[in-house]
Amino acid sequence: MDITNYMQTIGRQARAASRAMARADSATRNRALLLIAEAIERDAGKLRDANARDMEAAAAAGLAPAMLDRLALSDKAIATMVEGLRQIVALPDPIGEISNMKFRPSGIQVGQMRVPLGVIGIIYEARPNVTVDAAGLCIKSGNAAILRGGSEAIHCNRALAALVAEGLRGASLPEQGVQVVETTDRAAVGALITMPEYVDVIVPRGGKGLIARLMQEATVPMIKHLDGICHVYIDAKADIAKALPIAMNAKTHRYGTCNTMETLLVARAIAPSVLPQLAALYQTREVELRADPEALGILQGYPHLVAAVEEDWRTEYLAPILAVKIVAGIDEAIEHINQYSSKHTEAIVTEDYTDAMRFLREVDSASVMVNASTRFADGFEYGLGAEIGISNDKLHARGPVGLEGLTSLKYIVFGHGEIRN
Amino acid sequence: MDITNYMQTIGRQARAASRAMARADSATRNRALLLIAEAIERDAGKLRDANARDMEAAAAAGLAPAMLDRLALSDKAIATMVEGLRQIVALPDPIGEISNMKFRPSGIQVGQMRVPLGVIGIIYEARPNVTVDAAGLCIKSGNAAILRGGSEAIHCNRALAALVAEGLRGASLPEQGVQVVETTDRAAVGALITMPEYVDVIVPRGGKGLIARLMQEATVPMIKHLDGICHVYIDAKADIAKALPIAMNAKTHRYGTCNTMETLLVARAIAPSVLPQLAALYQTREVELRADPEALGILQGYPHLVAAVEEDWRTEYLAPILAVKIVAGIDEAIEHINQYSSKHTEAIVTEDYTDAMRFLREVDSASVMVNASTRFADGFEYGLGAEIGISNDKLHARGPVGLEGLTSLKYIVFGHGEIRN
- Domain CATH for B170: 3.40.605.10
Cβ–Cβ gap B106/A383 under 8 Å: no
Min distance A186 CA to chain B CA atoms (Å)? 21
At B144-166, the pLDDT tens digits run 999 999 989 999 999 999 999 99
At B229-245, the pLDDT tens digits run 999 999 999 999 999 99
Cβ–Cβ gap A200/B399 under 8 Å: no
Nearest Cβ partner for B394 among A19, A408, A420: A408
Domain shared by B81 and B35, yes or no: yes
Cβ–Cβ gap B412/A360 under 8 Å: yes
The backbone torsions φ and ψ at residue B104, rounded to the nearest 5 degrees and listed phi first, read -110, 160
What residues have CB less than 8 Å from A166, skipping those under 6 apart? A35, A36, A39
Cβ–Cβ gap A241/B19 under 8 Å: no
Whole-number pLDDT of residue B75:
93
CA distance A418 to B110: 42
CA B294 vs. chain centroid, Å, equals: 36
Q: Where in the sequence is the domain holding B265, given as residue range(s)? A: 230-381
* Closest residue in chain B to residue A110, using alpha carbons only: B382
CA distance B359 to B42: 51
Min distance A409 CA to chain B CA atoms (Å)? 7
Nearest Cβ partner for A108 among B196, B221, B372: B372
Domain shared by B362 and B409, yes or no: no
Domain shared by B196 and B314, yes or no: no
Residuewise pLDDT in 10s, chain B (421 residues):
799 999 999 999 999 999 999 999 999 999 999 999 999 999 999 999 999 999 999 999 998 888 888 899 999 999 999 999 999 999 999 999 999 999 999 999 999 999 999 999 999 988 898 999 999 999 999 999 999 999 899 999 999 999 999 999 999 999 999 999 988 888 999 999 999 999 999 999 877 788 888 888 888 999 988 789 999 999 999 999 999 999 999 999 999 889 999 999 999 999 999 999 999 999 999 999 999 999 999 999 999 999 999 999 999 999 999 999 999 999 999 999 999 999 999 999 999 999 999 999 999 999 999 999 999 999 999 999 888 888 988 999 999 999 999 999 999 999 999 999 9
CA distance B245 to B61: 42
Cβ–Cβ gap A108/B253 under 8 Å: no
B391 domain-assigned: no
The backbone torsions φ and ψ at residue B407, rounded to the nearest 5 degrees and listed phi first, read -125, 175
Q: How many domains does chain B have?
A: 2
Beta-carbon count within 10 A of B103 CB:
11
Cβ–Cβ gap A419/B245 under 8 Å: yes
Domain shared by A81 and A33, yes or no: yes
Which chain B residues contact residue A372 at CB under 8 A? 108, 413-419
Cβ–Cβ gap B408/A417 under 8 Å: no
Min distance B288 CA to chain A CA atoms (Å)? 21
Whole-number pLDDT of residue B274:
98
CA distance A106 to A227: 48
Cβ–Cβ gap A381/B108 under 8 Å: yes
CA distance B261 to B278: 14
At A159-217, the pLDDT tens digits run 999 999 999 999 999 999 999 998 888 899 999 999 999 999 999 987 778 888 888 88
Domain shared by B10 and B94, yes or no: yes
To probe the interface with A, which of B213, B226, B360, B411 has the most A CB atoms within 10 Å?
Answer: B411
Domain shared by B169 and B264, yes or no: no
Beta-carbon count within 10 A of B208 CB:
12
Which chain A residues contact residue B377 at CB under 8 A? 411
**Angle, vertex CA B153, rays to CA B151 and CA B156, nearest 5:** 135
Domain shared by B317 and B334, yes or no: yes
In sequence order, what DSSP letters do the residues of B162-197 get, joined into one string?
HHHHHHHHHTT--GGGEEE-----THHHHHHTT-TT
Domain shared by A267 and A287, yes or no: yes
Domain shared by B214 and B270, yes or no: no
Count chain A–chain B contacts defined by CB atoms under 8 A. 224
Which residues in chain A land under pLDDT 70?
none
* DSSP type of residue B92: P
Whole-number pLDDT of residue A67:
83
Whole-number pLDDT of residue B211:
86
Rounded alpha-carbon distances, angstroms, from residue B74 to B44, B71, B86: 10, 10, 19
B390 domain-assigned: no
B387 domain-assigned: no
A420 domain-assigned: no
Rg (CA), chain B: 24
Residue type at A26? S
Domain shared by A47 and A175, yes or no: yes
Please list, residue by residue across B156-194, b when 16 or more beta carbons sit within 10 angstroms of its beta carbon and e when fewer do. Answer: bbebbbbbbbbbbeebebbbbbbbbbeeeeeebbbbbbb
Which chain B residues contact residue A347 at CB under 8 A? 413, 415
Residue A287 sits in a domain whose CATH number is: 3.40.309.10
B94 domain-assigned: yes
A386 domain-assigned: no
Cβ–Cβ gap B364/A118 under 8 Å: yes
* Closest residue in chain A to residue B394, using alpha carbons only: A408
Domain shared by A198 and A247, yes or no: no
A391 domain-assigned: no
Q: What is the ipTM of this complex?
A: 0.92
Calculated CA dihedral for residues A363, A368, A372, A376, nearest 10 degrees: -140
Half-sphere exposure of B324 (CA within 13 A, CB side): 31
Min distance B236 CA to chain A CA atoms (Å)? 16
Min distance B350 CA to chain A CA atoms (Å)? 10
Domain shared by B133 and B272, yes or no: no
Cβ–Cβ gap B239/A118 under 8 Å: no
CA distance A191 to A187: 6
Nearest Cβ partner for B416 among A371, A419, A420: A371
Whole-number pLDDT of residue A259:
95
A392 domain-assigned: no
